[in-house]
Amino acid sequence: MKKKGVLTIFVVFGFLATVFFLFMLAALGGADSGLALTGKGIGVVEILGPIMDSKKAVEQIESFAKNDNVKGIILRIDSPGGAVAPSQEIYYAVHEAKKKKKVYVSMGNLAASGGYYIACAGDKIYALPGSVTGSIGVITQITNVSELAELAKIKMVTIKSGKHKDMGNPFREFSEDDRAVFTSMIDDIYEQFVTHIAESRGMEVEKVKSLADGRVYTGRQALANGLVDELGPLQKVALDLGAEVGIEGKPALIYPPKDDDEFLKRLLEGSAQTITRGALRSLSEASVPTFEYRYVGP
């Protein structure tokens, strides 16, 4: 009985170990399984959530652009946008990739502001009828706690080299000079956005400006206004791009290899953000103005 019991334990353990191994193999290598089966496919780069860093997306785009087995690239965007510079870096990476391969865009639920900025760099943009896109514009929000500080008898002493050095200082009133400088910056960043859309979409600047008042559009409205090219899900985008690059039938979708430590990284990053953005971060740091291509609606 004892030998049978031990043998049973080993069999069960071996079975569980095999299942776990296969699961990990699928998780870590499954992204490239289509490539192994067909020898060629379509690379998919996902732009998900707020765009605050461009490194990962740019690396993935560049990697697919250099890979001979990747015949085309799909950008799958589901994002409200984010910081200006990362959005622009991804935009430029897409333009570079287009010199080697076709790049199609598939909008998910939301591809607004910086998400649309990146999308307009693609060769062709697809949205779902109910996708939310647009929100073409720039925003910055400045916290001012001067009255609260006065009530609490807190006084901030600032020594600066020029009158604009502490623009946005939350412990003093926001002046008209401050407003003029910030407005000029917002206007310049807005012009960059509009100009890139006009160039990428082959539209007149004034036409873009008539659409670029910050409002959002459904995918169907965006199609009518010339902001997207077709309506359809990711599967249609893949089929159309596959046909464009000479892949017969349903193309394999190749996702970047998964990071073994992705879950741990996100957990740690989430904890770090909670700390840095929470009560332990000073009011002064929390109020540093950030210029964003971001949709701030519901």
Lowest mean pLDDT among 16-25, 46-55, 218-227, 287-296: 16-25
Of all residues in the chain, what percent are helix, strand and coil, respectively (each to 5)?
50, 15, 35
Host domain of residue 48: 32-294
**Per the domain annotation, does 19 fall within a domain?**
no
Query: Which of 182 and 19 is assigned the larger pLDDT?
Result: 182
Catalytic residue among 165, 175, 184, 271: 165
**Per the domain annotation, does 6 fall within a domain?**
no
Q: Is 106 a catalytic residue?
A: no
pLDDT at 270: 52
Strand 81-83, strand 292-294: pairing: antiparallel
**Per the domain annotation, does 1 fall within a domain?**
no
pLDDT band at 224 (very low <50, low <70, confident <90, very high): very high
Average of per-residue pLDDT across 150-169: 85
CA separation for the pair 127, 230 (Å, rounded): 7
CA separation for the pair 29, 260 (Å, rounded): 11
**Per the domain annotation, does 12 fall within a domain?**
no
Catalytic residue among 87, 106, 113, 131: 113
Lowest mean pLDDT among 8-17, 142-151, 205-214: 8-17
Average of per-residue pLDDT across 222-241: 98
Q: Is 79 a catalytic residue?
A: no
pLDDT at 206: 97
pLDDT at 169: 82
Rounded to whole angstroms, what are the CA distances from 50 to 43, 78, 142, 172, 292? 22, 9, 19, 30, 10
Please report where in the chains the tokens 């017969």 appear, as a residue: 248
With contact defined as beta carbons under 8 Å apart, do 254 and 70 qualify?
Answer: yes
**Per the domain annotation, does 5 fall within a domain?**
no
In this prediction the pTM is 0.78
Give residues with Cβ within 8 angstroms of 156, minimum separation 6: 149, 169, 171, 172, 284
Query: Which of 106 and 143 is assigned the larger pLDDT?
Result: 106
Highest mean predicted confidence (pLDDT) among 154-158, 159-163, 203-207: 203-207
144: pLDDT strictly greater than 60: yes
**Per the domain annotation, does 120 fall within a domain?**
yes
Domain count, the chain: 1
Question: Which domain CATH number covers 223?
Answer: 3.90.226.10
Query: Which of 6 and 82 is assigned the larger pLDDT?
Result: 82
Would you call 265 helix, strand, or coil by DSSP?
helix
**Per the domain annotation, does 24 fall within a domain?**
no
Average of per-residue pLDDT across 233-251: 96
pLDDT band at 29 (very low <50, low <70, confident <90, very high): very low
**Per the domain annotation, does 270 fall within a domain?**
yes
